[in-house]
Amino acid sequence: EVQLVESGGGLVQPGGSLRLSCTASGFTSSNFQMSWVRQAPGKGLEWVANINQDGSQRFYVDSVKGRFTISRDNAKNSLYLQMNSLRAEDTAVYYCARDRQCYIWGQGTMVTVSS
Amino acid sequence: DVVMTQSPLSLPVTLGQPASISCRSSQSLVYSDGNTYLNWFQQRPGQSPRRLINKVSNRDSGVPDRFSGSGSGTDFTLKISRVEAEDVGVYYCMQGTHWPLTFGGGTKVEIK
């Protein structure tokens, strides 16, 4: 079964850091671009970042540039999102999704930024 | 950035009746390879989003044929031929042509 499982969410203070992980199973993730998408409580979907198959190209939404870093470890079929200098407005469920067109989604992991 | 504008925001529908959601982009979504990367997603209450339609009109695997997508350039439509109870949720369009990728604001489909 094709599946994505996110982990690493939690409560963090403003200015703090968190690293999210996404593990893929049922397919070879190295064959696909991967994306992170977030959804603030009660709000719509917002694309956050994308990485190509070998990690040589990365794209970000302006609001996270310089603070978030997307990376991957193809040997581990894993995708990561390093989040630094977190703000209250980063509070959201973070989903990983397969490929640029977001075909397969994980169940999401909740990130809460609050003092 | 490409702005994706969906309408209506809310769509009350009678069971068995059709429903239509509009999505307009602020610029053409035709990519350099000739494809138009416009996707539709369904998010049922309490669930992760699920992609229904890719490249304007291609239904993803397992998606009922009552869902159809159409459009071109900057104007796109998702239609449900006969709404069923399981179709309740929020529907989003997303353009995958230009960076940053962008979503529409969502349309909430509910049963009258």
Interface of A with B (CB under 8 A): 35, 37, 44-47, 50, 59-62, 95, 100-108
Pairing of strands A10-12, A109-113: parallel
Token pair listed for A23: 């593990």
Distance CA A102, CA A87 (A): 26
For residues A19-30, average pLDDT: 95
Per-residue DSSP letter, B70: E
Q: Specify the length of chain A in residues.
A: 115
SS3 state at B87? helix
Of A46, A50, A107, the CB nearest to B103: A46
pLDDT score for B64: 98
> Exposed, middle or buried by CB within 10 Å (0-12, 13-18, 19+), for B59?
middle
Q: What is the pLDDT of residue B79?
A: 98
pLDDT for A108 equals: 98
State the best of A101, A104, A105 to mutate against chain B, taking most chain B CBs within 10 Å.
A101
CA distance to B47, B51, B63, B67, per residue, from A106 (Å):
10, 12, 18, 23
pLDDT above 70 covers what percent of chain A? 100
Cis peptide before A14 (omega within 30 of 0): no
- Written as tens digits, the pLDDT of chain B (112 aa) is 999 999 999 999 999 999 999 999 999 999 999 999 999 999 999 999 999 999 999 999 999 999 999 999 999 999 999 999 999 999 999 999 999 999 999 999 999 9
Residues of B in contact with A102 (CB under 8 A): 39, 41, 49, 51, 94, 96
pLDDT given for residue A52 in this prediction: 97
